[in-house]
């Protein structure tokens, strides 16, 4: 086969594949009745939450269960869980909500951390 014929054969093959690719059946649309979020399948441990809360909420001397923050002992899993169980609405508004003011200053929680904490709470705060 000469060079022009090879080029023509390749062009026809390429165009055939292109046309076939554009007319092939599309995959079915996802089932719109089911919403799956990362939280549905996420496994967030208390150790992860304890580390994050300790880093942001107790590292500067706050929420260690002493002094003026005696009722907010976030140094243990039991302390965090107990506080959230008794004060979930306050926790969400002050810590994970859109207008959260804790922790103060430049130590703010990232949105990902807020989402992880909310997910952990929604799963029953597993150990």
pLDDT for 13: 57
Which pLDDT score, from 0 to 100, does residue 24 have? 44
List residues bridging with 73 in a β-sheet: 64
Is the distance from CB of 72 to CB of 63 less than 8 angstroms?
A: yes
Question: How high is the pLDDT of residue 41?
Answer: 87
Range of the domain at 87: 46-123
Distances (CA, A) of 61 to 51, 71, 121: 15, 14, 24
Instruction: Look at residue 31 in the predicted model and tell me its pLDDT.
Output: 46
Residue 116 inside a domain? The answer is: yes
- Averaged pLDDT in 10-residue chunks for the chain of 127 residues: 67 55 48 61 89 84 80 88 93 91 82 91 92
- Please state the domain count of the chain: 1
54 within domain boundaries: yes
In whole angstroms, what is the distance from residue 126 CA to residue 90 CA? 20
Q: Does residue 30 fall inside a structural domain? A: no
| Helix and strand element counts for the chain (H, E) | 6, 0
Q: Is residue 72 part of a domain?
A: yes
Distance (Å, rounded) from C-alpha 113 to C-alpha 26? 38
Question: What pLDDT, on the 0 to 100 scale, is given for residue 27?
Answer: 45
Classify residue 3: in a domain, yes or no.
no
| Residues 118/111, Cβ–Cβ less than 8 Å | no
Q: What is the pTM of this model?
A: 0.66
Cβ atoms of 123 and 43 closer than 8 Å: no
Report the first-to-last Cα separation within the chain, whole angstroms.
72
Q: Is residue 71 part of a domain?
A: yes
Determine the pLDDT at residue 8. Answer: 65
């Amino acid at each position: 086969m000469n060079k022009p014929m090879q080029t023509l054969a390749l062009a026809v093959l390429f165009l055939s594949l292109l046309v076939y690719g554009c007319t092939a059946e599309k995959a079915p649309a996802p089932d719109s009745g089911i919403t799956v979020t990362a939280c549905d399948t996420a496994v967030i441990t208390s150790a992860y939450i304890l580390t994050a809360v300790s880093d942001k909420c107790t590292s500067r001397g706050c929420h260690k269960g002493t002094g003026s923050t005696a009722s907010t002992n976030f140094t243990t899993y039991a302390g965090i869980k107990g506080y959230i169980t008794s004060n979930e609405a306050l926790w969400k508004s002050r810590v994970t909500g859109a207008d959260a003011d804790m922790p103060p200053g430049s130590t703010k929680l990232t949105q990902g951390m807020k989402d992880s904490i909310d997910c952990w709470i929604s799963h029953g705060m597993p150990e």
